[in-house]
Amino acid sequence: MATLAHCAYCFESLAASLESRQPLSLPKVEALWEKYYSVPETDEDGQPDSEEASVLTQDEDGDMEMDDVPPESRPARPAAINRLLAPSPASASSTPSTRSTTSSRAEASSASSKSSSRTSIFSFGKRSNKSTTLTGSDSGSHPLFVTWNTISRSGNKSLRGCIGTFEAQDLDQGLASYALTSAFEDARFLPITARELPALECGVTLLTNFEPASDPMSWDIGTHGLRISFIYHGRRYGATYLPDVAKEQGWTKEETMVSLMRKAGWTGRKDDWKKVEDLHVVRYQGKKEQLSYRDWRDWRDWIDEQGLKPGY
């Protein structure tokens, strides 16, 4: 499953490319992201806020306990940040590379977006009031997509770039590569520039559970993404929509299929979409995580406050 740290790593890769510096590696981003979210907020006297400094649970009798709280979830000040950033043989920082524009276009991009008995009373601080996964519990190789959106001052979201691959990628290299490919090589848009960074939002989707659909309608809106392939006028076409697209657009299943076929290049009548030759539908799953530039920038500023400088 994608995490907020994955999104932060994509921001790190893009910003480093635009700033001509070496980015942090994914393991280092994950370690620092977890440290950042374990620091409780402080009051004006520099002391932890009383409402946020404790990691406790309350049982039915009102007694306070910490037995059920994992040690890794208990708040602690960051330690040895310099050690975390120091190069190590096991996780050396790598320079992301991009794929060619031709191959990037061949790999499908997503469509534009429209706009109990025990009561837990613990908190990690104001920064951690998120229900999403923070760091990487999911390692290994995955098919993946990286999405860039711009957020207007009024809050409207517009697609700025989205490219991915159905070929399993090592996450350190794959996320860095497709963060840049989707930012710079999406043929629908001009390359993202440094001045656009503050308005960006990054989304990461790791794809899982691929299976042939027994019927073009055998999938669920909001759960499944679709990858289709069909023959039209003697030529094979194909396209994909990520799992969140149909739900965000408010489409029915049939509207989704017609739109996806249009995206692939089909120009037939709307009611004739089932008549194309050799239509194959593969459904898959994947939960998207999204992170704003502001959240990434706050984390990056926190790193800089530790006395570190770009380049490390």
pLDDT for res 139: 61
Instruction: Give residue-wise pLDDT tens across range 96-112.
Output: 233 333 333 334 444 33
When pLDDT is averaged across residues 46-52 and rounded to a whole number, the result is: 49
Contacts with 259 (C-beta within 8 Å, 6 or more apart), sequence order: 111, 241, 249, 251
Higher pLDDT, 305 or 289: 289
Q: Is the pLDDT of residue 35 over 60?
A: yes
The per-residue pLDDT for 175 is 98
**pLDDT value at position 11?**
98
Give yes or no for residue 51 having a pLDDT over 50.
no
What residues are paired with 65 via a beta bridge?
Answer: 57
Residue 70 buriedness (CB in 10 A; 0-12 / 13-18 / 19+): exposed
Instruction: Note the pLDDT tens digit of each residue in 60-90.
Output: 333 333 344 344 443 343 433 333 344 333 3
pLDDT band at 92 (very low <50, low <70, confident <90, very high): very low
The mean pLDDT of the chain is 77
The pLDDT value given to residue 39 = 66
How confident is the model over 108-163, as pLDDT tens digits? 444 333 333 222 222 233 344 444 455 544 568 999 999 999 999 999 999 999 99
Name the nearest CA neighbour of 145 among 256, 6, 250, 302.
Answer: 6
Asked which of 99-103, 153-157, 184-188, 214-218 is least confident by mean pLDDT, the reply is 99-103
> What is the Cα–Cα distance from 139 to 171, expressed in whole angstroms?
7
> Which letter does DSSP use for residue 39 in this model?
S
What percent of the chain is predicted at pLDDT more than 70?
A: 66
pTM, entire model:
0.71
- 3-state secondary structure (DSSP) of residue 210: strand
Provide mean pLDDT across the span 14-30.
96
